[in-house]
Structure 1
Amino acid sequence: MNQPLSHHLLTMAYQNAWANHRLAKAWGQLSAVELAAPRVSFFPSIVATLNHILTCDWFYVDALERERRGDEPHHDCYVFFKDDQPFTAAADLKREQAHVDNRLIAYCEQLRDADLGRLVTIARDTPQHDSRLRMLSHLFEHQIHHRGQVHVMLSATAVKPPQLDEFFCVGEAGLRVEDFAELGWTEELIWGH
């Protein structure tokens, strides 16, 4: 069954939320000290990396939602980065990431292929203009990149990093049943069949 590209973007938004959920079940077992412990990566700790993922998600999802509503770009798009680490408690980080993940799913639910070329503007010092498709592709790649770093940093703790590539294949549906139940999702909800 051929699905439109817009449906694939929606599945990517679901995959993103699922991977964040599964990863949070692992890093959520760490103490606050372990989350903040210095580690070798692009950002110096697990908590710093998680906050970076979150604040960048706020930044891009805000721009996407504004364009969809027909609003002007955020006049101070850097507001999302005023605090490098707005959250240090695991419960707060998990809650806020789940919230922005759900906003991204809601955004992608309304996408149609004919509108993927619409321009989204971010009022950076030099305004950034990218199509919805390119901005979403960048956002998904950004999330994957930094989740991978958290995954590697987890391997230096007592908590085993979780498998994060069991989302798309039909034959692996049984491996995500528990997570889908926790998230209130079904295979039919995501795949449409």
Structure 2
Amino acid sequence: MSLARHFHQMAYNNAWANHRLLSACAKLQPGEFEAARSGFFPSLRATLNHNLTVDWFYIDALERELRGAAPNPDCYQFFAQDEPCQSLEQLSQEQRQSDRRLLAYCAQLMDSELERLVTIDRPGRQQQDTRSRLLAHLLQHQIHHRGQAHCMLSSSSVKPPQLDEFFCAGEAHLRAAEFAELGFTEAMIWD
């Protein structure tokens, strides 16, 4: 299997895991989503907003490079608010859109172009990384903070959802309902 194909499959995994985690959050009691919790960020809302804003930051850079556009001179606009989404409904909608953008980006990837450089304007310097490094970073970032949110759910009224039932063929039935909600099929991802 090609590395480009693997990134596309990981983007599907990312969208599915976000969907499953945010669906669990939708079952929280009033006040639990924004309640103070132990973690790198002080609440589920803050943690999941951080994941979203970092998605916006990196997906913007990847899409700009793909279009041949200059780096975003105002890329830190995505961090202007620590929590741009105050409600779980808004956050879920924005995360779904972000996940769809990442899926579309990964769908066009080819192995021969994974080492193209993506430039991000940082204060006083330009960061240049390959597409493959930025995608690996972005996906790992999501996994890292989803894990923190998963742990935070342990101290809530909602049981944390299983987030590792994506890759094994024998677990397809465990993700079938969410795949239907997302419009995914096993064949789209694995064939």
TM-score tier after normalising by the smaller chain length: over 0.9
Write the distance in 2 (CA, Å) between the matches of 1:46 and 1:124.
28
Tell me which amino acid in the other structure corresponds to 1:183. L
The residue number in structure 2 matching 1:70 is 68
1:135-174 matched pairs, under 5 angstroms: 135-174=134-173
Count of residue correspondences: 190
Paired with 1:139 and 1:8, the residues of 2 have a C-alpha distance of: 14
> Is the contact between residue 32 and residue 90 of structure 1 (CA under 8 Å) also seen in structure 2?
no
Counterpart AA for 1:77: C
Q: Indicate the residue corresponding to 1:122 in structure 2.
A: 120
Q: Are 1:121 and 1:130, in contact at CA under 8 Å, matched by a contact in 2?
A: yes
Q: Which amino acid aligns with 2:100?
A: N
Note the C-alpha offset of 1:32: 4.8
Please name the residue that 1:11 is paired with.
Answer: 9
2:49 equivalent in structure 1: 51
Aligned pairs for 1:40-119 (under 5 A) are 40-119=38-117
Runs (4+) of structure 1 exceeding 2 A deviation are none
SS at match of 1:123: strand
Q: Which runs of 5+ in 2 are unaligned?
A: none
Query: Structure 1 CA distance, aligned partners of 2:121 and 2:71?
Result: 6
**Residues 126-163 of structure 1, C-alpha deviation per residue, up to 9 Å, x if partnerless?**
21100000000000000000000000000000100000
1:50-80 deviation per Cα after TM superposition (whole angstroms, max 9, x unaligned): 1000000000000000000000000111000
**What secondary structure, in the 3-state scheme, does the structure 1 residue paired with 2:102 have?**
helix
Give 1:31 deviation, angstroms: 3.9
Q: Work out the CA distance in 2 between the residues paired with 1:15 and 1:130.
A: 23
> Which residue of 1 is the match for residue 174 of structure 2?
175
Mapping for residues 178-189 of structure 1, pairs under 5 Å: 178-189=177-188
Q: Counterpart in 1 of 2:189? A: 190
Is the 8 Å Cα contact of residues 153 and 160 (structure 2) preserved in structure 1?
yes
TM-score norm. by structure 1 comes to 0.97
Determine if the alignment matches structure 1 residue 132 to structure 2 residue 103. Answer: no
Identity of aligned residues (%): 59
Give the partner amino acid of 1:16: N
Aligned-partner SS, 1:168 = coil
CA distance in 1, matches of 2:109, 2:89: 31
Gaps of 5+ in 1: none
Taking structure 2 as the reference length, the TM-score comes to: 0.98
